[in-house]
Structure 1
Amino acid sequence: MNNEQCCTISCESPLDQKHWDTQYKAQATGWDLGAIAPPIQNYIDSLVNKESRILIPGCGNTYEAEYLLEKGFTNITVIDIAPTLVAMLQQKFADNPNIKIVLGDFFEHQGEYDLIIEQTFFCALPPFLRQKYVWKMHQLLADGGILSGLLFNRTFEVSPPFGGSQNEYEMLFKEAFVFTKLEMAKNSAEPRKNSELFFEFKKNSTVQVRLYSFEGITCSGCMETVSTKFSAINEVLNVSMSTDFSEVLIISKKEIPLQELQTIVSYDEKYKILQIES
């Protein structure tokens, strides 16, 4: 187990735009490998369509985009929330028409992509955003689109990064995506050796993936009860609630009427559910 720690400033402050911009201003980017991660490099080498619409969220210094450009890919978008970083990238790639640099919140981003590359973005998000991550990735991918990259298969004493396990990821992404590959990375960079999973998930375009805000739950027992009730709906395939109990992700064979969901939880007058629009 390595001792890699990404949180080089204060982990008590919100992980917002100010936090990440401060990291780049201070050049306190302990998560940065200084080069493209070998498993992702190998994956890019296997790609054939140079015109694929590719997105890299939470792009950081975006060695992945740089490598894609070297390999002749022509339609790359990278997005990050840190203004200092984005300004640097805009200057670095100013003369290259094959890459678009976006300053913004990933969860507000609009577009359609054939491939989204995950590299230290998921692990930088507070765990309560993981259901929203699945929903947004599914939304941004075209039919048959691919989400691929690396996920940590370990926990951390200091966060971010926020770790996880293969079983947790399987439960989170199941039904929304078809798992083409989810396995221990074979050629990770030395600091991350034996601690990350390489994955390739294909968007399941046959299901409905909906995210809802939820009010009233204050304990894990209540969360389990509500999740079980939603899971019992005939057309529902997977239910996952955020760690702060504020959002619930429902994957189903068809759209479940909001009123039906509200009726199911009406046994407690505190419970309120509303669909989050894209």
Structure 2
Amino acid sequence: MGNEKCCVVQCERNLDQEYWDAQYKANVTGWDLGKIAPPIKTIIDNLKDKNCRILIPGCGNSYEAEYLIESGFTNITVLDIAPTLVQNLTEKFAGNTNIKIILCDFFTHQGVYDLIIEQTFFCALPPRMRQKYVWKMHQLLADSGKIAGVLFQKQFEVNPPFGGSKEEYIALFQKAFTIVKMELCENSIPPRANSEVVIEFKKNPDVAVNLYTFEGITCSGCMENVSDKLAQINGVMNVSISTDFSKVLIVSTEEIDLTALQFAVSYDEKYKIKKATVTN
């Protein structure tokens, strides 16, 4: 992002509704380009079905939605957690029946979409929430649905945004999604040149993707042991544990019985695994 200033409040604060609303109230939105990002424009230009169900989570000022409407798309949903922003968007798109504007937490949203556009939403979430992001994306997409957009291929000294790498993204999304495309973006804006990957992830509808809360892990070594134990369960295809050790994402051929998961980690009595909900 070069010298772009992203936040009016330091990243030690909770990145909650109050935090994000403060950015829009103060009009300190350094991530905002003032126009649609070129890679997203390219993605939209290559879409064929003007009636496909499109979601843009963490939508910001919604230049992508504007361009979609201008391009003839008819079924667009944008959502954000910041009330000030959503009020502005409601006024901006007043009377337009091709777009729905929703104020809500992405993780509580319900719906079915053919395409979810990823544009500076993933990178705004604390890394500990990435397993939950994959879980929710898989829920919201239709069986043939896709995530398309850009992710950062770099780390940042000041957060948000939070960076990452192709290797991390593959480990996180594999098996739940087919990675159709993940390559260095060729038309990023200059401050983001060589630091973005353009992605297309297609939902794998033939697997179970479940999120669990976990208690007892205290270090990366413990995390690796737990991950290995869970991965050995028949039918488990991928295991990903959050950076704070509190969430476990499991992709499997079918949902694994909770008693089998608990038994796999019962070698340490402090380990407890439970099914996660949208609120935990």
TM-score for the superposition, normalised by structure 2: 0.97
Which residues of structure 2 form unaligned runs of 5+? Answer: none
Tell whether 2:13 aligns with 1:13: yes
Q: Which residue of 1 aligns with 2:194?
A: 194
2:228 counterpart residue number: 228
Distance 2:211 2:95 in 1: 39
* Aligned-pair identity (%): 67
Is residue 80–residue 103 contact of structure 2 (8 Å, CA) maintained in 1?
yes
Q: Which residue of 2 aligns with 1:118?
A: 118
RMSD: 1.0
Which position in structure 1 is the counterpart of 2:50?
50
Count of aligned residue pairs for this structure pair = 278
Pairwise CA distance, 1:265: 1.1
Partner of 1:158: 158
Q: 2:254 aligns to what?
A: 254
Aligned to 1:91: 91
Q: Which amino acid aligns with 1:234?
A: N
Alignment-mate amino acid for residue 268 of structure 2: D
The 5-angstrom pairing of residues 1-278 of structure 1 reads 2-277=2-277
- CA distance in 2 between counterparts of 1:2 and 1:59 reads 22
Q: Confirm or deny: 8 A CA contact 1:231 1:239 kept in the other structure.
A: yes
Q: Secondary structure at the match of 2:228?
A: helix
Could you tell me how far 1:21 is from its partner in structure 2?
A: 0.2
Deviates more, 1:215-224 or 1:178-187: 215-224
Secondary structure at 2:223 match in 1: helix
C-alpha displacement at 1:277, in angstroms?
Answer: 4.1
Residue deviations 1:77-113 (CA, integer Å, cap 9, x gap): 0000000000000011111011000001000000000
CA distance in 2, matches of 1:35, 1:8: 21
Alpha-carbon distance in structure 1 between the residues aligned to 2:204 and 2:276: 20
